[in-house]
Structure 1
Amino acid sequence: MTTVAAPMPSTLSIGLSRAAYELKVFFREKDQVVFTFAFPIVFLVLLGSIFAGTMEGVSVSQLYTAGLIGAGVLSVSMQNLGITIAIEREQGMLKRLSGTPMPRTAYFLGKILSVLVIGVVEVALLLAVGVTMYDLRLPSDAAGWLTFAWVFVLGLTAGCLLGIALSSLARSDKSASAVITLPFIVLQFVSGVYIPFNQLPDWLATVGYVFPLSWMCQGFRSVFLGEAGAVLERSGGYELDRVALVLGLWIIGGLVLCLTTFRWKSRREG
């Protein structure tokens, strides 16, 4: 009697299982959970308390809330994902996984889906703080929430792909945090998260506009600040068509970088 082998699970089902595993690992590390979720909230409370008042008729606290939502999304995608993958590579985990029957696509799918869940929680916490402490106005119509959704998805996807690509820069698991965190901190200052574009030198604002974080924050400001906040933008408007275009281009560019730079082995293994 011939035994018929059971069919292999689909890449999607393996990716979902991998995402569940990644989330379990993440939430078991209490220090990482607290730091990931508390860091932008602490910054929001500090900045909202120090820089109270209004700017061109817009509450400064609300301005910071919108910006820190963008920074929070990039933090859980580019920064956290890049550091995690770099550490897994240097510890040999990626090499072992590449030798298993698991499709390589399922590994990345699991990573991105887990980041999606963590990103949703991060944003929900920031919105809760913004609404309860700083009278942040949530969108009142479906169009506002739709804008929020596509900015979130495009920004998170671009951040994940950049994180995967940046993970190859670290020469060791010990240097991963410094190598990836430094660019993230610089991006926040030149992307209008902490300092509005109309207060940055022109050349520095231009540098910020090259990267996805500034466009992500601009999209979120359009959702939560409305027309009153448009005057604070460098162009005097939110330019949502350009937001979508630039984030889309970064997704394409990030994918190309991943395909050309990603390594399953550490540098010392060749």
Structure 2
Amino acid sequence: MTAIRSTTTTTRTLGGPGRILRLGAGRAVYETRSYFRQGDSLFFTFLFPTVIFVIFAVAFGSSGDVGAGPDGTGGISMAAYYLPGMAAAGVLLSGIQNLAVDIATERSDGTLKRLAGSPLPVLSYFLGKFGQVLVTSILQLLLLFLVARLVFGVELPGDAEHWARFGWVYLLGIATSAALGIALSRVPRTGKSASAVIVPILLVLQFVSGVYIQFSVLPDWLQTFASVFPLKWIAQGMRSALLPENFAAAEPGGTWDVGTTVLVLVAWLIGGTIVSLLTFRWNRKDA
């Protein structure tokens, strides 16, 4: 009888799959609305890749095409060259920076403690966060692509194969970034220090992962260091989908190395998910 009551209580607390999904969807709507009401989030995560893309495209646009032959043909504009890197940066910021700072703030200001006393299951909370990241990152990419195409005339892929590759790189990248964002939310001691802790880490990764600087011009030891982390592979995967095939020659090994991209991102996704499940708590870190 005690076992039956225990099972019933657990079921009521966790809820069935339908209830978890329903509450997760409702939470995702709430999280998305809250996201677009925050001015700092809008600029530093949502608009940031597009703003940096415009700056780079304008600043370096007069330097000529990238990868052009001796006769001046066959290259692509600087805007087209920087587009994959900015898309990868957007995935990183939407997943890791957004969630790490947001969850750390919610833990510090008592939001998570209040949610602990509500009927909301932890899985529904995670689904809400991931739903918000998925929606906002897709809108972010659409804005970036619209600006690239309409303002700078960047030619986007015209075949299903490249868009399919872009799709799986994006989905795997955003899932990995979201898992790592939840895991990293335990690092800042307070919500106020979250940005100061998380942003510098991600800024360094962007500079060494082929987002702002061509990856092949970095020292070998720095390339090896960056290759451990997922952003390098997200950026390389984006380049494989958005740049002409001959640009693979500029990558380490002279290929897009799609297989390694999948393996590295899946490894980080599994690792981030495990760490998130083991370390996530409703209460404050110092409680």
TM band (smaller chain): over 0.9
What SS does the aligned partner of 2:123 have?
A: helix
Cα drift, residue 134 of structure 1? 3.2
CA RMSD of aligned residues (A): 1.6
What SS does the aligned partner of 1:51 have?
A: helix
Instruction: Return the match for 1:241 from 259, 279, 286.
Output: 259
The 10-residue stretch of structure 1 (94-103 or 23-32) with the greater mean CA deviation from structure 2: 23-32
> Of the two, which has the highest radius of gyration?
2
Instruction: Return the match for 2:108 from 84, 90, 105.
Output: 90
Contact 2:107 2:285 in 1 (8 A): no
Rounded Cα–Cα distance in structure 1 between residues aligned with 2:101 and 2:44: 14
CA deviation vs aligned residue, 1:103-126 (integer Å, no higher than 9, x gap): 110000000011000000111111
Name 1:55's counterpart in structure 2: 66
Q: 4+ residue runs of structure 1 moved beyond 6 angstroms?
A: none
Task: Normalising by structure 1, report the TM-score.
Answer: 0.93
* Amino acid across the alignment from 2:90: G
Cα drift, residue 31 of structure 1? 4.3
Cα drift, residue 137 of structure 1? 2.2
Contact 1:73 1:122 in 2 (8 A): no
What SS does the aligned partner of 2:253 have?
A: coil
Cα drift, residue 34 of structure 1? 3.8
Distance 1:233 1:133, change over 3 A: farther
Instruction: Return the match for 2:182 from 154, 164, 170.
Output: 164
Length, aligned pairs only: 263
* Amino acid across the alignment from 1:13: R
Task: Normalising by structure 2, report the TM-score.
Answer: 0.87
What SS does the aligned partner of 1:55 have?
A: coil
CA deviation vs aligned residue, 1:77-130 (integer Å, no higher than 9, x gap): 100111000000001111221222211100000000110000001111111122
Name 2:26's counterpart in structure 1: 17
Rounded Cα–Cα distance in structure 2 between residues aligned with 1:211 and 1:22: 28
Cα drift, residue 212 of structure 1? 0.7
* Amino acid across the alignment from 1:56: G
Contact 1:16 1:109 in 2 (8 A): yes
Cα drift, residue 135 of structure 1? 3.0
Q: How does 1:41-120 map to 2 (within 5 A)?
A: 41-52=50-61, 53-57=64-68, 58-120=76-138
Question: What is the aligned-residue identity percentage?
Answer: 45
CA deviation vs aligned residue, 1:12-47 (integer Å, no higher than 9, x gap): 000000000101111222443244332211211111
Name 2:197's counterpart in structure 1: 179
The 10-residue stretch of structure 1 (25-34 or 61-70) with the greater mean CA deviation from structure 2: 25-34
* Amino acid across the alignment from 1:95: K
The 10-residue stretch of structure 1 (127-136 or 99-108) with the greater mean CA deviation from structure 2: 127-136
The 10-residue stretch of structure 1 (239-248 or 163-172) with the greater mean CA deviation from structure 2: 239-248
